[in-house]
Amino acid sequence: MYKYDVMSAKAEEFINHEEIMETLSYAEAHKDDVKLIDEIIEKAKLRKGLSHREASVLLACEIPEKIQEVYDLARQIKKDFYGNRIVMFAPLYLSNYCVNSCVYCPYHIKNKHISRKKLTQDDVRREVIALQDMGHKRLAIEAGEDPVNNPIEYILECINTIYSIKHKNGAIRRVNVNIAATTVENYRKLKEAGIGTYILFQETYHKESYEKLHPAGPKHNYAYHTEAMDRAMEGGIDDVGLGVLFGLELYKYEFAGLLMHAEHLEAAKGVGPHTISVPRIKRADDIDPSVFDNGISDDIFAKLCACIRVAVPYTGMIISTRESKEVREKVIGLGVSQISGASRTSVGGYDQPEEEDDNSAQFDVSDTRTLDEVINWLMRIGYIPSFCTACYREGRTGDRFMTLLKAGQIQNCCHPNALMTLKEYIEDYASEDTKRIGEELIQKELLNIPNPVVRAKATEYIENIHTGQRDFRF
Ligand code: SAM
């Protein structure tokens, strides 16, 4: 039997089933304990985070006033740490060849009717130009696991191609990578290729379910998958992104597992996760989400996001176009800091939008708006869309990024960077209406830069962007 140990290198010890079960019993037993809940909320107000046990009590609590307090705190933490900025990105699907058999994913090896595709370097070029022409600066590349069709060399070649393309004023300045768990050596190669965050969704932290949901293929190995972030960090990648595919297992179990994973990385590696993603299962070719028993309502989903926000205030939270405009609007307020826009989940979908007979997509997207529509909407509901990639390019990754955050310098750094990248978007890609709203917003928000020297510099840079210069950053 495994014993819980946050420092252990063993998956079953840092994500310990018995510890999760005890946590869930503890949370259930204390869900009406107002005194304890108040103490936990007070602790969360210190903005230093909560343990998986404490946060699980908040998630279990069903007292409306207390839930409201958690929501209010999540909103406040979001404001203090991330301001009203929302970072934009797009996924880029490189290949849907896959040797795994994940039962929720249309790429599974037994799916014989999905059209299998893999981008050539010329295809990558066309996709990236299409993405640059929309205004994207940050990508998350995605691929199935297939050592023959998508070996690490292929992924590295694609990353090189992506960074090399400069079309008009466009550029992809940060490539995040979402590929299957791999070796320390391969993580080192990804680091050398200049990736931003390495993202890998755990799918489920419940080992028994994990093994059933991944009945064959390399992904079947729970320990190898769960220990991937440790190997990534050993390979020099210090920004890692966690995630759970909600709907597979009980959400309270996943929530405790997710926080234990974050605690483990912080304790054993000195840096917690850079981001947490919160995908929910969607319909896809050969996949009917209703066969999974653990789907969660939009309300529970919002509660989960708020609890993650107060439990790990320093971790960015990502939401994709799997969610509708309405759900996105709700959870952006509760703590989400990064969203995708105008995503295509098919291989080659940006340059050649899906044809009738193309079923290569990974899942159906709910938010189908153009990037301009998303940017326009964000500004109308009070946010600053940001295309900033400065931290990564200035080497502010891992604990160096956290230092900036903890020193409260975000408003003198991320805020002007967001405005300058928004200005680039407006100059190069925006519709007339978006341009008008954006110009007003930038002028208004420049005044919210506290340091007068930074404010003056940012104002000057923004004028320079208007006269044709690009790529300023603090
Ligand atoms: N193949 C890589 C791996 O094994 O981790 C990652 C890339 S995969 C393209 C990205 C993620 O999409 C998966 O980790 C999974 O959580 C999610 N996904 C798979 N099927 C899905 C579905 N039907 N609905 C929503 N998300 C899904």
- Mean pLDDT value of segment 286-300: 93
Is there an atom of ligand 1 within 6 Å of 90 CB? no
Which pLDDT score is estimated for 283?
92
Q: Give the whole-angstrom CA distance, residue 372 versus residue 135.
A: 9
Atom 21 of ligand 1, nearest CA residue: 105
Q: Which domains does the chain have, with CATH numbers?
A: 79-352 (3.20.20.70), 392-466 (no CATH)
Give nearest CA residue, ligand 1 atom 18: 105
pTM: 0.97
pLDDT surpassing 70 at residue 61: yes
Q: How far is the CA of 112 from the centre of ligand 1 (A)?
A: 18
Going by pLDDT thresholds of 50, 70 and 90, the confidence category of residue 361 is confident
The mean pLDDT value of the chain amounts to 96
| Average pLDDT for 188-195 | 98
| pLDDT value at residue 415 | 95
240 lines ligand 1 (CB under 6 A): no
Tell me which of 92, 105, 324 to substitute to probe ligand 1's pocket, judged by most ligand atoms within 8 Å of the beta carbon. Answer: 105
Kindly tell me the burial class for residue 459, based on how many C-beta atoms sit within 10 Å of its own C-beta (0-12, 13-18, 19 or more).
Answer: middle
State the distance from the centre of ligand 1 to the C-alpha of 68, rounded, in angstroms: 32
C-alpha 160 to ligand 1 mean position (Å): 24
Mean pLDDT of 5-17: 98
Distance 414 CA to ligand 1 centre (A): 30
Contact 213, 222 (CB under 8 A): no
Pocket test for ligand 1, best of 362, 363, 366, 367 (most atoms within 8 A of CB): 362
Q: What is the pLDDT of residues 390-405, one digit of tens each?
A: 998 998 888 877 777 7
Tell me which residue has its CA closest to atom 6 in ligand 1.
179
